Chain A
């Protein structure tokens, strides 16, 4: 063990002293910092402008009220998350923003608006903000209404309006929130509701689906209201029927709540899959270079006179494994730091994901799968290094191995998000080479505990066999030059005890 630790320490020291390591270590924090800075200073503004012409004068107020209600729902949702994050619910436990609700109902939003909205809530919260907590910044409106441009006729019918509005919609326009793309124009004819009369919407090709949906819903509701009245229902009764809404309270699962399966409800395990892929490729390169350097510098015979080949192998795995963990630890640390010290959609998502990983055994499972995957890949790289006399040699082995691992992993990541019960995901989970990737990817959406234990046991057995067989190849190849002639020669090295 002493020799293993000595080799590991040397490997670690050598890598830590290289410029390449510092670049790798800093690349991710710099990327995070750059992303946060860019999103804070250079992110394009959200929201788009639209104009609404209601020649009938009967529908625009309905549409505008709905848009405002939806916007205030977003404000309330974000405010509730802000209050939860900074633990401010005690300020007014009865306030609507103190009660987490993934989809606040209209009545709740109306109460929020009636109480003064986000501005009033902030006035209430401001004296109680903890140190370092930024002021709440409400989300900007998705749809900002502007008056029709002056040159566009609004009283000559829909066709004339449509022809005239096409040109102004090609450029950004001034809105109360600043310049925004002019994405949609809505024209409701004077006799809308009569048979054959249609409301018209022109778009600039941008994303306007939810605006169109809102307009459609409000106009439909108004027509239904009219139909009910025409059938003899009073206006009040028609209103009641029209605004009938099933009372639904949408609750999100508590972080890491179990449904008979292991679910973290977090993107952290999935992020670890990507991290595992990136880290193993980067550190794998270092591992290859280390082994090839020792082979080409003819260092190995000196070593083997002092220590066992297995000591050299385990020392390398341990040392370069430590390098990988330092890199990953630093990266994860930066991500956690950024999540808890900055504002924005990405930090908010990260923060929620990290909070979801709150059970020690879930953390242990993630670490187990991560380290197992790292060990499997590191061993493969070590053997590739021992089979190669140069980096050029190494590349011819490396490419197929990387493809063999990465392609199914990408499939598993995608499938685990869209259809976690897909056969491909289930099958790959039980193939040890892919188990770490598949199980990490699935942790976020749920894995039966029995499957976790079964794949874990199989993975441990696979690693033991891999270390034994590939270890033999590594040891047999230490003092050899050239490459094994074919797969049979390679297999012979695996199944032939070291001499």
Chain B
């Protein structure tokens, strides 16, 4: 699958500070890709480099098959983390203006803007100055400025910050709809729940370096498997089991054990072994690790992230 964004050994230094260090990644076309990491992980710097807002100190970047350039603005939508709009401009004129900055002709920009603000439930506010909008509505307008050109690639930097839970849900739906319609959405976040619900693939960053890139399942596989078994005897001797911990006291001979698998061991193989060895089982619960746990496991607990 062709990559819409490719970074090869990219490094960005600001004076003595290294914001991004030897970062390589590839974002395939289509779907939703997450840039995950705590504050200062290098997410925003990476996105800015992809947009040619800043240049890398070294390394190579390709966006939609070409080096980063404003010439590609017509195919890209960008929502920055720090958001703002001209307070005196109307909603419609704001969206049209950004459409035109991205190379759209006046008529096309107007038509697309009207359709978009209607789709986003802003039609009745088309002529309202931005200063008269609530924060949530203003953020919708900002998102509309990113999407007015029907971009192939949408870059959203911390798109959920500052939104209430209802609008977070609306934005999640919109991101999924964009991906469904064929756009590639890349978004950065330090809130793992959003990534869990949205991302097909993700990259985990810590202190400017990549610590993981792949699918969610691949990320979870990086963690030793954990299960809860209800059985009559300690399952520690079963194949693939690294350790067990009894939970509570046995009831009518049945006890609960938290089981940690050996690295690479599969829960399905364990179940098969139980059956083959006639190991008495009453419950076999596979514990699916949260991305947060994966992150902590890979990066350490000192990074500022939100579950």
User: Across the interface, do A479 and B53 meet the contact criterion of CB distance under 8 Å?
Assistant: yes
Q: Which of B2-10, B98-106, B208-216, B242-250 lines the interface with chain A?
A: B98-106
How far does the alpha carbon of A304 sit from the alpha carbon of B89 in the complex, in Å?
19
Q: Mark B19-62, 1 if CB is under 8 A from A, else 0.
A: 00000000000000000000000000000100101110000000
Within 8 A of A (CB), among B251-297: none
Interface status of A156 (Cβ within 8 A of chain B): no
Residue ID in chain A nearest B102 by CB atoms: A306
How far does the alpha carbon of A296 sit from the alpha carbon of B89 in the complex, in Å?
16
Known A-B contacts A298-B80, A301-B53; A14 and B88 likewise in contact (beta carbons under 8 Å): yes
Which of A294, A298, A306 is packed against the most chain B CB atoms within 10 Å? Answer: A306
User: Across the interface, do B85 and A303 meet the contact criterion of CB distance under 8 Å?
Assistant: no
Residues on A with C-beta less than 8 A from B184 are none
User: Across the interface, do B70 and A301 meet the contact criterion of CB distance under 8 Å?
Assistant: no
User: Across the interface, do A6 and B101 meet the contact criterion of CB distance under 8 Å?
Assistant: yes
Within 8 A of B (CB), among A1-41: 2-3, 6, 10, 14, 17-18
Residues on A with C-beta less than 8 A from B54 are 479, 499
User: Across the interface, do A306 and B87 meet the contact criterion of CB distance under 8 Å?
Assistant: no
How far does the alpha carbon of A17 sit from the alpha carbon of B86 in the complex, in Å?
13
Residue ID in chain A nearest B146 by CB atoms: A302
Known A-B contacts A3-B101, A6-B101; A305 and B76 likewise in contact (beta carbons under 8 Å): yes
Residues on B with C-beta less than 8 A from A499 are 54-55
Q: Mark B82-98, 1 if CB is under 8 A from A, else 0.
A: 11111111000000011
Which of A17, A297, A298 is in CB contact (< 8 Å) with B87? A297
Known A-B contacts A306-B101, A499-B54; A298 and B83 likewise in contact (beta carbons under 8 Å): yes
Known A-B contacts A3-B101, A297-B86; A302 and B55 likewise in contact (beta carbons under 8 Å): no
Write the nearest CB–CB distance from A289 to chain B, whole angstroms.
Answer: 12
User: Across the interface, do A305 and B73 meet the contact criterion of CB distance under 8 Å?
Assistant: yes
User: Across the interface, do B101 and A297 meet the contact criterion of CB distance under 8 Å?
Assistant: no
Residues on A with C-beta less than 8 A from B113 are none
Interface status of A308 (Cβ within 8 A of chain B): yes
Which of B73, B76, B84 is packed against the most chain A CB atoms within 10 Å? Answer: B84
Interface residue tally for chain A (C-beta within 8 Å): 23
User: Across the interface, do B85 and A299 meet the contact criterion of CB distance under 8 Å?
Assistant: yes
Q: Mark A167-202, 1 if CB is under 8 A from B, else 0.
A: 000000000000000000000000000000000000
Interface status of A307 (Cβ within 8 A of chain B): yes
Q: Mark A474-499, 1 if CB is under 8 A from B, else 0.
A: 00000100000000000000000001
Interface residue tally for chain B (C-beta within 8 Å): 29
Write the nearest CB–CB distance from B3 to chain A, whole angstroms.
Answer: 20
Residues on B with C-beta less than 8 A from A296 are 84
Q: Mark B71-85, 1 if CB is under 8 A from A, else 0.
A: 001001010111111
- A-B contacts counted at CB < 8 A amount to 67
Interface status of B183 (Cβ within 8 A of chain A): no
User: Across the interface, do A14 and B101 meet the contact criterion of CB distance under 8 Å?
Assistant: no
Residues on A with C-beta less than 8 A from B48 are 301
How far does the alpha carbon of A3 sit from the alpha carbon of B100 in the complex, in Å?
8
Interface status of B145 (Cβ within 8 A of chain A): yes
Residues on B with C-beta less than 8 A from A479 are 53-54
User: Across the interface, do A6 and B80 meet the contact criterion of CB distance under 8 Å?
Assistant: no
User: Across the interface, do A17 and B88 meet the contact criterion of CB distance under 8 Å?
Assistant: yes
Residues on A with C-beta less than 8 A from B83 are 298, 302
Interface status of B188 (Cβ within 8 A of chain A): no
Write the nearest CB–CB distance from A25 to chain B, whole angstroms.
Answer: 18
User: Across the interface, do B100 and A304 meet the contact criterion of CB distance under 8 Å?
Assistant: no
How far does the alpha carbon of A305 sit from the alpha carbon of B89 in the complex, in Å?
20
Residues on B with C-beta less than 8 A from A307 are 70, 73, 101
Write the nearest CB–CB distance from B263 to chain A, whole angstroms.
Answer: 42
Write the nearest CB–CB distance from A495 to chain B, whole angstroms.
Answer: 16
Residue ID in chain A nearest B106 by CB atoms: A6
Interface status of B139 (Cβ within 8 A of chain A): no
Residue ID in chain A nearest B81 by CB atoms: A301
Within 8 A of A (CB), among B91-136: 97-98, 100-103
How far does the alpha carbon of A14 sit from the alpha carbon of B89 in the complex, in Å?
8
Write the nearest CB–CB distance from A297 to chain B, whole angstroms.
Answer: 3
Residues on A with C-beta less than 8 A from B146 are 302
Interface status of B189 (Cβ within 8 A of chain A): no
Write the nearest CB–CB distance from B173 to chain A, whole angstroms.
Answer: 23
Interface status of B142 (Cβ within 8 A of chain A): yes
Within 8 A of B (CB), among A304-356: 304-308
Write the nearest CB–CB distance from A470 to chain B, whole angstroms.
Answer: 20
User: Across the interface, do B73 and A301 meet the contact criterion of CB distance under 8 Å?
Assistant: no
Q: Mark A269-283, 1 if CB is under 8 A from B, else 0.
A: 000000000000000
Residue ID in chain B nearest A18 by CB atoms: B88
Residues on A with C-beta less than 8 A from B101 are 3, 6, 303, 306-307
Within 8 A of B (CB), among A29-87: none
User: Across the interface, do A304 and B55 meet the contact criterion of CB distance under 8 Å?
Assistant: no
Residues on B with C-beta less than 8 A from A6 are 97, 100-101
User: Across the interface, do B55 and A301 meet the contact criterion of CB distance under 8 Å?
Assistant: no
Within 8 A of B (CB), among A347-368: none
Write the nearest CB–CB distance from B23 to chain A, whole angstroms.
Answer: 17
How far does the alpha carbon of A18 sit from the alpha carbon of B86 in the complex, in Å?
13
Write the nearest CB–CB distance from B80 to chain A, whole angstroms.
Answer: 4
Write the nearest CB–CB distance from A452 to chain B, whole angstroms.
Answer: 40
Write the nearest CB–CB distance from B45 to chain A, whole angstroms.
Answer: 11
Residues on B with C-beta less than 8 A from A293 are 86-87
Residue ID in chain A nearest B79 by CB atoms: A302
User: Across the interface, do B80 and A301 meet the contact criterion of CB distance under 8 Å?
Assistant: yes
Residues on B with C-beta less than 8 A from A297 are 84-87
User: Across the interface, do B80 and A302 meet the contact criterion of CB distance under 8 Å?
Assistant: yes
Residue ID in chain A nearest B82 by CB atoms: A298
Which of B87, B97, B145 is in CB contact (< 8 Å) with A10? B97
Q: In the complex, given contacts A306-B102, A307-B101, what are 9 additional A-B residue pairs having Cβ atoms less than 8 angstroms apart?
A: A3-B70, A18-B88, A297-B86, A301-B81, A302-B83, A302-B146, A304-B51, A305-B78, A306-B73
Using a CB–CB distance below 8 Å, which chain A residues touch chain B? 2-3, 6, 10, 14, 17-18, 293-294, 296-299, 301-308, 479, 499
List 14 A-B residue pairs with CB atoms under 8 Å apart, sorted by A's residue number. Answer: A2-B103, A6-B101, A14-B89, A298-B80, A301-B48, A301-B81, A302-B84, A302-B98, A303-B101, A304-B51, A304-B53, A305-B51, A305-B76, A306-B78
**Lowest 4 A-B CB distances belong to which pairs?**
A297-B84, A298-B82, A301-B80, A298-B84
